[in-house]
Structure 1
Amino acid sequence: MIRKLLFFVLAIVVSVYAESYLSLYYPLGTPLQTSTGSARSMGGSGTGVKESFFGISLNPANIANHEKSVFSSVASFDVNSYNDTERHYFYNFSPSMLSLIVPVGAFGNLGFSFANRTKGDLNFRSVEELQSPVPESTDTLYTGLIRKGGMNEWQAGWGYHLANDIQIGFTYKRLYYSMQTDRVYGFASGESSYYHEIQRNTEETFAANGVKVGAILPWGDLTLGAAGEYVFVNESDIVNSNKLREDTISNKSNVTIHPPPSATIGLSYQLTSEWLLAADIHTVLWDRFISDDNSSLRRTYSTSAGARYIPSPEYIFATDYWRTIQYSTGLRYEQMPVEGASEVTFTLGTALPIQQSSALLNIGFEYSRRRDTNLNDFTEDVFRLVIGLNGSQKWFQNR
């Protein structure tokens, strides 16, 4: 059903505004990257990285890896473009995530985060001229599909350091989803001022609980990491409204909603003191997604790999600042829930130490291309400027 709707939208030669057509392939909106700037610059890899500024979003076990309080934040400026008969460009700026880790002594560490998890904005409008039965006159058909909303998440968790430098972590998640979809159909007859319009509005909302667990296991210069997420079944409220001229008819219903579980395995390798390599394999079980839409979705897999280089990590910050700057790059491939659709992302970034290396400023560039092999010559390109700020401070002194 999703692909049929997309074919319909693309088949009409119209005046169009849209952020992403292929976002329709995701029932809850396009997934957003919720990792820190350091991880995003390495293609999104970091499940198997045991470092302060990799945050808790990829692996809750990283909560345990801190003797100081650590915060991380990320925002991005996006330029989206797609081609149908011509190239269109759209711009967006939004915060991505904010996290905080606080040590609590012998009891381990506590972690908290907020992230924008999905985004489903779409604004499609068309104006089509039709042949009128009245001689030397035309009728006009107006069509609109406007969608706005997405899902955000709050996390609170705990991490603990076991023997042999093994780390474990657990987070509780609270997810909030809201999506409003407006369908507008209008018709103007000939040269007259007569205009007929029907509006169909749907608003879907739900709140759900979930958990995420993770572990990090060092083995010499190699570090293994694993994390898994499960969101519990919940009820979604759906309000449908049909408006014809001055009359509005509304009804409310409830449907069962079950967001898909997911799992990630990652590893990192400290090749030398200057070079760090990392890779992740991630899967989302969209074939277990439950909602009122019976569209057939597939289980998706994604892979990412990245590298980071620090010219002289042993140098003291005040001695030679430029040799402590970090340089990162990475590549990520992601499948979409609909057969034949995928996304490839290339990342490049740098991290600038500040305040005697107790803080880090990430500046990253990402380029993504989305495509569907069933849509000939249609691609979506996304350019992102990613800014991340990380800091650490020892709030409590050991006695």
Structure 2
Amino acid sequence: MIKKMAASLCLLLSLTTLAQEGTSSPYSFYGIGDIKFKGAVDTRTMGGLNVFSDSIHINLQNPAHLASLKLTAFSVGATYATTKFQTETDEGKARRTSLDYLAVGIPAGKLGFSLGLVPYSSVGYKIQDLTEGDSPVYSRYTGVGGVNKVFTGIGYQLTKKINIGADIQYNFGTIETQNLRYQTGVDLVENGTREKNESDIQGFNVDFGATYQTKVNSKHTFFGSLAYTPESTLRLNNSRNIAVVLITSGTTSVVESQDIDVADTEIKLPSKLAIGTGYGEVKKWLVGGEVTLINNSVMSNRFVDIEGATFENSVRYSLGGYYIPNYNSYSSYFKKITYRAGLRYENTGLVIQNKSITDFAATLGFGLPLSGTFSKINIGLEMGKRGTQYYNLVEENYFNISVGLSFSDKWFVKRKFD
């Protein structure tokens, strides 16, 4: 299993080197960027449904599920994203490959433990604006960086029907933004000003969870889940540099620069409450739904002088499930595949020009078992739309392909023979 882990790491790390920015969305201009993490591939392809306690997959959004692990699990996932941007007058395309998560889950009787890394949010935008007049002024806005989470969690089987759990997360990262303003001069020389901002981010937050399942009859089971994240604070160590620049044939040279003292700030991570239910036959099929309430109104921009957007409380609806024709089939590999599908709709909480930015997606997934093991390759497809092309905003039509590798095996077993 160690060799499989090493091979998967090499594969996914080579994929992520294709693009260092995890997003190309202009909406990552606001707050701490575009929230990238939406769960492991197996749950993400069910519209984000997190009600099922899986014995071989690590659930990264409700720590109570850790108590259901029966095998040590190593999970890693990545996404290749293509996005088409549209406004009323223009359009463009972008592609990104990013690492989604890296985690280990270890069962220990009624307990389950996890440790991992999640790239939580990402900033990666390039925006140009033109103010027309006798002397046209161009503005170019760029940003890179994001927030990562290192976490450790524990789940406990309180009764045969109830699991509880909690995890703690350390958030860290750097966000760099730049605003370049210039006017067209003579002899292809453009002069202007450049403002650079940098925020080093750190802080802690915790998650709590509980799950419930009970037999309805000899075949069917009812599932319930509850996950709660209290509000937390991220501390931002801010710096700013102002420069007078000359731009000649696309090359920017600094004439004079000065560091500006700016106050260190804090930004709130919103509280979140997710409630879900499901119904189905274990190892056969499941359907369920989940509602997530997020107190995004506490969010703010990184610098108080950034205008044009506010945040509101948001809600996300998830509907999905899976189907396995025959998980123990010896005659057909296709009957052992887990087929997943789902729908997701959310009000993201971002409001621009009094218009709420919404996101809708349809998902499809396949859990491909590896012969002779409990391990799986999970493949996910996601097609969706965020925002609108009207009201001077941007509509994003995206298609994502996600690959998750989940290796499950027994660890820490004493050998009977040397």
**TM-score, normalisation: structure 2:** 0.82
Match of 1:202 among 191, 194, 197: 197
Alignment of 1:54-69 (within 5 A): 54-69=57-72
Q: 1:115 offset after TM fit, Å?
A: 0.8
2:28 matched to 1:23?
yes
In structure 2, C-alpha distance between the alignment counterparts of 1:331 and 1:20, rounded to whole Å = 22
2:132 matched to 1:157?
no
- Structure 2 unaligned residues grouped into runs of 5+: 1-22, 216-220, 246-254
Secondary structure, aligned partner of 1:64: helix
- Tell me what 2:395 maps to: 379
Alignment of 1:342-361 (within 5 A): 342-361=358-377
Q: 1:369 offset after TM fit, Å?
A: 0.2
How many residue pairs get matched? 369
Deviates more, 1:357-366 or 1:386-395: 357-366
2:325 matched to 1:322?
no
1:325-348 deviation digits (Å, cap 9, x = unpaired): 111111000102225220001111
In structure 1, C-alpha distance between the alignment counterparts of 2:392 and 2:139, rounded to whole Å = 24
Distance 1:288 1:129, change over 3 A: closer
- Tell me what 2:322 maps to: 308
One-letter code of the match for 1:204?
S
- Tell me what 1:214 maps to: 209
Q: 1:364 offset after TM fit, Å?
A: 1.3
In structure 1, C-alpha distance between the alignment counterparts of 2:189 and 2:378, rounded to whole Å = 56
1:57-85 deviation digits (Å, cap 9, x = unpaired): 22101111112101111100000111122
- Tell me what 1:8 maps to: none
One-letter code of the match for 2:44?
R
Distance 1:271 1:104, change over 3 A: closer
1:231-286 deviation digits (Å, cap 9, x = unpaired): 53343111111011422121242113221111111122115753211221112111
In structure 2, C-alpha distance between the alignment counterparts of 1:298 and 1:126, rounded to whole Å = 26
- Structure 1 unaligned residues grouped into runs of 5+: 1-17, 132-138
2:415 matched to 1:391?
no
In structure 2, C-alpha distance between the alignment counterparts of 1:182 and 1:170, rounded to whole Å = 38
- Tell me what 2:55 maps to: 52
In structure 2, C-alpha distance between the alignment counterparts of 1:325 and 1:150, rounded to whole Å = 36
2:97 matched to 1:122?
no
Distance 1:380 1:285, change over 3 A: same
- Tell me what 1:299 maps to: 313
In structure 2, C-alpha distance between the alignment counterparts of 1:115 and 1:163, rounded to whole Å = 30
Secondary structure, aligned partner of 1:204: strand
Secondary structure, aligned partner of 1:313: coil
Secondary structure, aligned partner of 1:308: strand
Alignment of 1:182-331 (within 5 A): 182-190=178-186, 192-220=187-215, 221-245=221-245, 246-250=255-259, 251-271=261-281, 274-289=284-299, 293=304, 296-315=310-329, 318-331=330-343
**TM-score, normalisation: structure 1:** 0.85
One-letter code of the match for 1:76?
T
One-letter code of the match for 1:382?
Y
- Tell me what 1:70 maps to: 73
Match of 1:147 among 127, 143, 156: 143
Distance 1:273 1:212, change over 3 A: closer
In structure 1, C-alpha distance between the alignment counterparts of 2:294 and 2:367, rounded to whole Å = 30
Q: 1:34 offset after TM fit, Å?
A: 3.7
In structure 2, C-alpha distance between the alignment counterparts of 1:74 and 1:384, rounded to whole Å = 13
Deviates more, 1:151-160 or 1:31-40: 31-40
Secondary structure, aligned partner of 2:28: helix
Secondary structure, aligned partner of 1:63: helix
Runs of 4+ deviating beyond 4 Å: 126-131
In structure 2, C-alpha distance between the alignment counterparts of 1:263 and 1:99, rounded to whole Å = 23
- Tell me what 2:164 maps to: 168
Match of 2:94 among 84, 87, 90: 90
In structure 2, C-alpha distance between the alignment counterparts of 1:40 and 1:65, rounded to whole Å = 19
Distance 1:129 1:163, change over 3 A: closer
In structure 1, C-alpha distance between the alignment counterparts of 2:262 and 2:161, rounded to whole Å = 53
Q: 1:22 offset after TM fit, Å?
A: 3.0
Secondary structure, aligned partner of 2:311: coil
1:141-189 deviation digits (Å, cap 9, x = unpaired): 4321001111111110111112223111110100113211100012222
CA contact (8 A) 2:272 2:293 kept: yes
CA RMSD of aligned residues (A): 2.4
In structure 2, C-alpha distance between the alignment counterparts of 1:110 and 1:273, rounded to whole Å = 23
Q: 1:91 offset after TM fit, Å?
A: 0.5
Calculate percent identity across the aligned residue pairs.
22
